[in-house]
Amino acid sequence: MTEKKGRYSNAFTATLAGITDLFRKQMNVVTLNETDRIEGKKVLITGASSGLGFETAVQLAKRGAQVWMACRSGVPQKGEEVKNLSGNKEVEILKVDLSDLDSVKSLVDQLKTAAVKFDVLVENAGMVPAKSRKTKQGLEEMFVVNYLSKYLLARLLLQNDLFNTTDGQVPRIIIVASESHRNPKAFDWDGFGKYKEYSMGKTVEHYGYYKLLLTTFSNELSRRINTSGRLNYSVLALCPGPIDSNITREAPAIFKPLLKVVFKIFFRSPEVAVRPVVYFAVSPEVKDKPLDYLFLMSRKEMDEKATDAANGKKLWELSEALLREHGIVFSK
Ligand SMILES: NC(=O)c1ccc[n+]([C@@H]2O[C@H](COP(=O)([O-])OP(=O)(O)OC[C@H]3O[C@@H](n4cnc5c(N)ncnc54)[C@H](OP(=O)(O)O)[C@@H]3O)[C@@H](O)[C@H]2O)c1
């Protein structure tokens, strides 16, 4: 894994990095038009029970979308809240535990039965655990929730033709990543998918590494689904910046009061932090883009480890092989 001690190497430096980034001058800023709507478009959002995902559901429902919330908790209450806050009754909520590969498959089976075709997928769910934990399949939980389940969900939706590609539609796949993807020095291909023990001191370092996997996957996904110069899907990754959400729920109890104050003062509310997600979902400016990355509302390059095609190919193949070990074989 990483030896470099970067801006996101532990909880303290990561918090500081998040705050200082908010005060830097932003370049290449994009504008979210308040009148842009996505009337009747179908949007699937993971981790929609809290923080950024919940706010995404509210904002897109307000702009006319039919929102499908894929949640581990808050089913069905959070769906009712989104209906009430947005004034849009076109909200569905389904249960999924993204740490469990079977649960991801079962979510896709339910979507197949519903015969729904999505215009937008928002792969948002994420976690920062207090320490490593084994999933039902014996994998490391943060690796699965923050990376592998996203790979699996996107591939199963594609394989089962659950995106709306009729009449020249270009579906949008939005991936909530993080600037911390720049922190790792290198990939640990030999250790890919192997269970690793770590405690709170190393959580943030692993978090950044899984976000590097995610941004690398975004690049490779875009390359693989947009072949021969044809635009079939837009893959749109972003870092929302520091958010005053529930992401620190597993922080040691002794730090929680302090974190609460720091987050309240310096971090952005989900209502503000959601803007790049909403921009990617609704803006007509995105429609010709096979790939894009926003940090806050600024268009940026992703780290070159993530954009490197050889890394993308390796990650794609290793992910496929790991899932094969767990009985999941893709037909396309
Ligand atoms: N907060 C920040 O400062 C920050 C900065 C950069 C990027 N991000 C990214 O933004 C995204 C949203 O995070 P947030 O800040 O909004 O945090 P949050 O309030 O904790 O929301 C996280 C969401 O992910 C869901 N989730 C976690 N584990 C899951 C599982 N096993 N199965 C299904 N859903 C699961 C949670 O569901 P439950 O409610 O059931 O737990 C919740 O809905 C994450 O990808 C995060 O990495 C956050």
Residue 331 domain-assigned (yes or no): no
Q: Is the dihedral of CA 123, 125, 130, 131 positive or negative?
A: negative
Give yes or no for a contact between 147 and 213, defined as CB atoms under 8 angstroms apart.
yes
Alpha carbon 144 to its chain centroid, in Å, reads: 12
Nearby residues of 311 by Cβ (< 8 Å), 6 or more positions away: 187, 216, 305
Residue 1 domain-assigned (yes or no): no
Distance 309 CA to ligand 1 centre (A): 28
Residue 283 domain-assigned (yes or no): yes
Residue 74 domain-assigned (yes or no): yes
Give the span between the Cα atoms of 44 and 71, in whole angstroms: 11
What is the greatest pairwise CA distance in the chain? 55
Whether the pLDDT of residue 170 is over 90: the answer is: yes
Residue 236 belongs to domain with CATH number: 3.40.50.720
Q: Which atom from ligand 1 is nearest to the alpha carbon of 244? A: 1
Counting ligand 1 atoms within 8 A of each CB, the residue from 22, 44, 49 with the most, and so the one to mutate, is 49
Residue 6 domain-assigned (yes or no): no
How does residue 61 score in pLDDT terms, banded at 50, 70 and 90? very high
Is residue 203 within 6 Å of ligand 1 at its C-beta? no
Burial class (CB in 10 A: 0-12, 13-18, 19+), 175: buried
Cα separation values, 67 from 44, 80, 106, 250, 318, Å: 6, 12, 19, 29, 32
Residue 62 domain-assigned (yes or no): yes
How does residue 173 score in pLDDT terms, banded at 50, 70 and 90? very high
With left for phi above 0 and alpha for psi between -120 and 50, is residue 256 left, alpha or beta?
alpha
Whether the pLDDT of residue 289 is over 60: the answer is: yes
Give the span between the Cα atoms of 73 and 149, in whole angstroms: 17
Ligand 1, atom 14, lies closest to the CA of 51
How does residue 168 score in pLDDT terms, banded at 50, 70 and 90? confident
Whether the pLDDT of residue 160 is over 80: the answer is: yes
Cα separation values, 21 from 15, 17, 69, 180, 296, Å: 10, 6, 30, 12, 10
Percent of the chain residues past pLDDT 70, beyond the cut = 98
Residue 42 domain-assigned (yes or no): yes
**Enclosing H/E stretch for 96:** none
Q: Which atom from ligand 1 is nearest to the alpha carbon of 48? A: 43
Q: Which region among 5-9, 88-92, 227-231, 235-239 has the lowest average model confidence (pLDDT)?
A: 5-9
What does the pLDDT read at residue 22? 83
Closest CA to 198 of 212, 208, 185: 208
Is residue 111 within 6 Å of ligand 1 at its C-beta? no
Give the span between the Cα atoms of 106 and 62, in whole angstroms: 29
How does residue 5 score in pLDDT terms, banded at 50, 70 and 90? low
Give the span between the Cα atoms of 23 and 134, in whole angstroms: 38
Whether the pLDDT of residue 1 is over 60: the answer is: no
What does the pLDDT read at residue 2? 40
Distance 57 CA to ligand 1 centre (A): 14
Region 234-243: mean pLDDT is: 96
Distance 161 CA to ligand 1 centre (A): 27
What does the pLDDT read at residue 221? 98
What does the pLDDT read at residue 158? 98
Whether the pLDDT of residue 283 is over 70: the answer is: yes
Indicate the residue type of 288: D
Distance 51 CA to ligand 1 centre (A): 7
Region 278-299: mean pLDDT is: 96
What does the pLDDT read at residue 3? 42
How many domains are there within the chain?
Answer: 1
Burial class (CB in 10 A: 0-12, 13-18, 19+), 311: buried
Is residue 50 within 6 Å of ligand 1 at its C-beta? yes
Instruction: Give me the half-sphere count of Cα atoms (radius 13 Å) on the Cβ side of residue 130.
Output: 7
Is residue 205 within 6 Å of ligand 1 at its C-beta? no
Q: Which domain holds residue 306?
A: 11-325
Give the span between the Cα atoms of 139 and 195, in whole angstroms: 6
Q: What is the pLDDT of residues 69-94, one digit of tens each?
A: 999 999 999 999 999 999 999 999 99
Q: What is the pLDDT of residues 129-158, one digit of tens each?
A: 999 999 999 999 999 999 999 999 999 999
Between residues 201 and 232, the one the model is more confident about: 232
What does the pLDDT read at residue 93? 98
Between residues 27 and 308, the one the model is more confident about: 308
Q: What is the pLDDT of residues 97-133, one digit of tens each?
A: 999 999 999 999 999 999 999 999 999 999 999 999 9
Alpha carbon 113 to its chain centroid, in Å, reads: 25
Residue 4 domain-assigned (yes or no): no
Ligand 1, atom 36, lies closest to the CA of 47
Counting ligand 1 atoms within 8 A of each CB, the residue from 134, 247, 256 with the most, and so the one to mutate, is 247
Distance 127 CA to ligand 1 centre (A): 5
Is residue 171 within 6 Å of ligand 1 at its C-beta? no
Instruction: Give me the half-sphere count of Cα atoms (radius 13 Å) on the Cβ side of residue 326.
Output: 20
Ligand 1, atom 20, lies closest to the CA of 247
Indicate the residue type of 44: L
